Structure 1
Amino acid sequence: MKSHFVFTKEQRNGIFLLLFIIVVLQCIYFFVVPMAVENNSEDISINETELQQYEAEIDSLRKVEIEARKPKIYPFNPNFITDYKGATLGMSNAEIDKLLAFRKADQWINSTKQFQDVTGVSDSLLAAISPYFKFPEWVTNPKPKHVFSNSYNNKPKTYAQKRDLNTASAKELQRVNGIGGVLSQRIIKYRDKFKGGFIADVQLQEVYGLTSEVISNITKEFTVKTPRKINKININSATADELVTIQHIDYEIAHNIIEYRQLHEGFRSLDELTKVKDFPISKVEIIKLSLQIQ
């Protein structure tokens, strides 16, 4: 142990020198450095005008970003407001339910005032959203009613007297009361989506903008005489994948149809579809065109 604590003169001098350096560095760290930092901080000057301008710029950029993140409203037809759309517009659940009930009765809103009468929205909300209302052209710019010959106004035409809806031209359709250039083109465009055209007159309900009154006027003069040929699906043996190929049926409705079929040992009539859970009753006649019972 003695060898570890006995030093030469040079070693002792080195140890004392090292201790001296450590003490000096500690004094510099505790006394000199804080004073230098304090002196430097006193030399820093703040330009209040520039600082305020900088803060104002930051605030303006923040406001721009907030506005950019807000949901944007684009022109829309108030007849097709969904639950989510109504909520984003600020409508209450009760107001949305009134609108949906009105539409479920196959009625259409054709003015801003009628929208408020049906939904009961406040004046302030109406003033905020009504500038975005976009009604069909036949509502905003109705064409004057034409007086047609007596052949259009007398007793109903027989099947033989009516024109084939699958061969009618836009010009011929415009002779019907309530049909203008836009609606006649929509009818033909929808008809041409399918090779062979319409299957039955009820498909006119699928054409956007046609009210029940206008459809009635059309079927007084036209009817489907050359229906499109389709392979009807047997509802009592169809799979879910087969059912979803039919317009207006998704997988949820398809599974509900199969569940009803299993519980009741098959369908005896296509009218039983209205008893299926969540079935779109307003589209039942169109859906029935693609189904059969075997």
Structure 2
Amino acid sequence: MKSHFMFSKEQRNGIFLLILFIIGLQCIYFFVDFSSEDISVDKETLAQFNKEMDSLRIVKLEERKPKIYPFNPNFITDYKGASLGMSNKEIDRLLIYGEQNNWINSTKQFQEITKISDSLLDQISPYFKFPEWVSNPDRVSKNHPVDNFSEQAQARWRGGNFNNKPKTFAQKQDLNKATAQQLQKINGIGVVFSERIIKFRNKFVGGFIDDVQLQDVYGLTPEIIERITNNFTVKTPRQIKRININNATLNNLVTIQHIDYDLAYNIIEQRQLREGYKSLEELKKVKDFPVNKIDIIKLYLSLD
């Protein structure tokens, strides 16, 4: 082994020079920049490329913008107002004005009520569509008896019945067979709400059990639900087997809408303390029971 580690003076000098050479190469590699600064760029081609990219970007942004179709500004909902760029305060002013049975008949009046900015008004007002008896009263008076037409038109404009008489069960349309177009005739129901109602209805084979299930459709206010049920009702309810609340098991109860395992446990615990429920209204006293959903939950329950 000793022979492998013994070097002559010449050999040692050679090894030392080799190490210095390697260190020198490393220093050159790390500290000397060999890159060329003379990069040839075709500025005209680059400018043309950037221009095309900007054009494509603008087209893409325009495609992403929501399309606005003509609409009656009196029937703007929270969702519609937000999509148009209105603030919550501006939307609330419009809704409060409408709840007082007042109706906007011009662009100027719309701005006075909502207090929206001139710039936003300029963007959305071209899409305002008022009834013909409002926008062109002279033409209406020439083609129709003024008193008769305007009274009926205003009744339809305000979403009410001309004779103000509530419809009977026979006169109402079946909510389980209603189309989106039929629902959109209701004041406050647009494309979004009508499609949302039908999508929710189609979650269940057979559709709605009762009108009260409209409460579960996201975004529908009590006022809008009342307008719907003035014209529609469930005539062909989905057939279900009710669950006896006094002998239902935990697994039975969790199959019901708005009841999870914790609530089902509380219902059974309260049932044992009461030695059985005498009325479904007693469920309101169960811990964490969703009182506002009791009418929907009662659809699935019975006492016998």
TM tier, shorter chain?
Answer: 0.5 to 0.7
Q: Give the one of 202, 224, 227 matched to 2:234.
A: 224
| Structure 1 residue 49: Cα displacement | 4.2
Q: CA, structure 1 residues 32+262, in 2 after alignment: closer, same or farther (shift >3 Å)?
A: farther
2:51 maps to none
* Structure 1 residues 117 and 190, CA gap change in structure 2 (3 angstroms): closer
Seen in structure 2, the aligned counterparts of structure 1 residues 144 and 186 have a Cα distance that, compared at 3 Å, is farther
Matched, 1:291 2:273: no
Q: Which residue of 1 aligns with 2:223?
A: 213
User: 87, 93, 100: which one pairs with 1:113?
Assistant: 87
> How far, CA to CA, are the matches of 1:243 and 1:143 in structure 2?
50
SS of 1:151's equivalent in the other structure is coil
In the TM superposition, what is the alpha-carbon distance from 1:22 to its structure 2 partner?
Answer: 6.7
Q: Which residue of 1 aligns with 2:281?
A: 271
* Partner in structure 1 of residue 267 of structure 2: 257
Task: Return the offset for 1:162.
Answer: 3.1
In structure 2, the CA distance between the partners of 1:25 and 1:257, relative to structure 1 (3 Å rule), is farther
Report the secondary structure of 1:205's partner residue.
helix
Preserved contact between residue 152 and residue 221 of structure 1 (Cα < 8 Å)? no
- The CA RMSD measured in Å over matched residues stands at 4.2
TM-score by length of 2: 0.51
Matched, 1:186 2:160: no
**AA aligned opposite 2:188:** G
The one-letter code of the counterpart of 1:272 is E
Correspondence 1:73-112 to 2 at 5 A: 111=82
- What is the distance in 2 between the residues matched to 1:221 and 1:162? 5
Return the match for 2:243 from 212, 227, 233: 233
- Cα distance, 1:240 vs. partner? 2.0
SS in 1 for 2:6: helix
Matched residue, 2:23 = 41
Structure 2: distance between partners of 1:264 and 1:292: 16
On the 8 A contact 2:174/2:236 being kept in 1, the answer is yes
- Per the TM alignment, residue 212 of structure 1 is displaced from its structure 2 partner at its CA by 2.0
Task: Work out the CA distance in 1 between the residues paired with 2:10 and 2:298.
Answer: 95
C-alpha distance in 2, partners of 1:176/1:143? 16
Residue range with higher mean Cα deviation, 265-274 or 28-37: 28-37
Distance across 1 between alignment mates of 2:208 and 2:128: 27
Matched position secondary structure for 1:271: helix
- Which sections of structure 1, spanning at least 5 residues, go unmatched? 1-17, 52-74, 76-106, 119-140
Q: Distance in 2 between matches of 1:193 and 1:293?
A: 27
What are structure 2's unaligned runs of at least 5 residues?
36-63, 65-76, 93-126, 132-152
1:240-278 CA deviation, whole Å, 9 max, x = no partner? 222222123233332333333334433333233333344
Spell out structure 1 runs of 4+ moving beyond 6 A: 26-32, 115-118
- Match of residue 242, structure 1, among 248, 252, 258: 252
Question: Mean alpha-carbon deviation: is it higher for 24-33 or for 281-290?
Answer: 24-33
In the alignment, the residues of structure 2 paired with residue 259 and residue 30 of structure 1 have an alpha-carbon distance, to the nearest angstrom, of 94
- The letter for the 2-side match of 1:113 is S
- Partner deviation per Cα, 1:116-156 (whole Å, 9 max, x = no partner): 999xxxxxxxxxxxxxxxxxxxxxx8976874457356133
CA deviation after TM superposition for structure 1 residue 232, in Å: 0.7
| CA apart distance, 1:170 | 3.9
Structure 2 CA distance for partners of 1:261 and 1:178, relative to 1, 3 Å: same
Q: What amino acid does structure 2 have at the position aligned with 1:271?
A: E
| Amino acid of the structure 1 residue aligned with 2:236 | T
Calculate the TM-score normalised by the size of structure 1: 0.52
- The answer to whether the aligner puts 1:175 opposite 2:149 as a matched pair is no
Identity of aligned residues (%): 49
Q: Say if 1:207 and 1:39 are closer, same or farther in 2 by CA, change over 3 A.
A: same
> What is the Cα deviation at residue 231 of structure 1?
0.4
